[in-house]
Amino acid sequence: MKNFQQGVSFYRQKMSKFSHSLNCIECNCKSLIFNKLNERELETINQNRYEVSFKAGEVMFKQGTPSPHFLCLTSGLAKLYIEGYGKNLIIGLVKPVEYILGPGVYVDNRHHYSAAAVEESTACMVDAGTYKQLIRENPDFAEEFIMRVSNQAIFNFDQFISLTQKQMHGRIADALFYLSDSIYCSNPFTMTISRQDLADISGMSKESAIRILKEFKDENILSVDGSTVHILDPKLLKKISETG
């Protein structure tokens, strides 16, 4: 909660510096969802957004708070997490340029998960009302939106199965593939997330995550040096993922 307050005051300080420094029409880091919008519509978005920057660790928005904006990450890396009973569950990492399309906007105007910057990040915050209006007016944009929300749901189902039906080794394997294939997009990759975050992705304790990382290292499936991980034997790791 303290972090959130800090985050808010921080972005208020920086806001004027970033606000409307670019515009959406010429923005070269705009989300692909905007391909469905024409120039007039982009200009509408442009007039109803502002940019914010976050330091690593800062909370972007907090589960339970009002959700008057959609947030688009323009640089850095963010984690989305549900705050449960004592523990957190990370339901996804978000990298540029991607929208965070929380389901609360169409239901109760509340965030149903929290978001925090993992690395130093910048984001565009677009007024949800403006966004909703464009969804009403432009069917292509609406379909694109629904497609993204659907993709998110499908991703969630996969995580569901991983977390509820696999044992720890399989879950860590899944997390490593997710990081390598979908987030850092390289094979020797340097994790900017902490061990605790890795554990929160895999639904286990930090200690268990570390132990399994070490086991994989001892079996030459991985090389692990601090935060740098190299998947040496992807085939075997895949097998571990599949056998649970």
Shortest spacing between CB 222 and DNA, in angstroms: 11
Specify the residue, 194 or 220, whose C-beta has the smaller distance to DNA.
Answer: 194
Shortest spacing between CB 32 and DNA, in angstroms: 32
Specify the residue, 46 or 162, whose C-beta has the smaller distance to a second copy.
Answer: 162
Distance from C-alpha of 120 to C-alpha of 141, rounded to nearest angstrom? 30
Question: Residues interacting with DNA, by CB under 7 A?
Answer: 57, 167-169, 194-196, 203-208, 210-211, 213-214, 224, 226-227
Handedness of CA 11, 12, 13, 17 (dihedral sign): positive
Shortest spacing between CB 39 and DNA, in angstroms: 42
Q: What is the DSSP letter of 244?
A: -
Specify the residue, 84 or 188, whose C-beta has the smaller distance to a second copy.
Answer: 84
Q: What contacts 30, CB < 8 A, 6 or more positions away?
A: 24, 97
Specify the residue, 27 or 135, whose C-beta has the smaller distance to a second copy.
Answer: 135
Question: Residues interacting with a second copy, by CB under 8 A?
Answer: 82, 84-87, 89, 91, 103-107, 112-113, 132, 135-137, 139, 142-143, 145-147, 149-154, 156-157, 160-161, 163-166, 203, 242-244
Distance from C-alpha of 241 to C-alpha of 234, rounded to nearest angstrom? 10
Specify the residue, 90 or 221, whose C-beta has the smaller distance to a second copy.
Answer: 90
Shortest spacing between CB 105 and DNA, in angstroms: 31
DSSP string, 58-122: -EEE-TTSB--EEEEEEES-EEEEEE-SSSEEEEEEE-SSEEE--GGGGTTSB-SSEEEESSSEE
85 binds, among DNA, a second copy, none (CB under 5 to 8 A by kind): a second copy
Start-to-end CA distance of the chain, whole Å, equals 37
The distance from CA 112 to its chain's CA centroid, rounded to whole angstroms, is 14
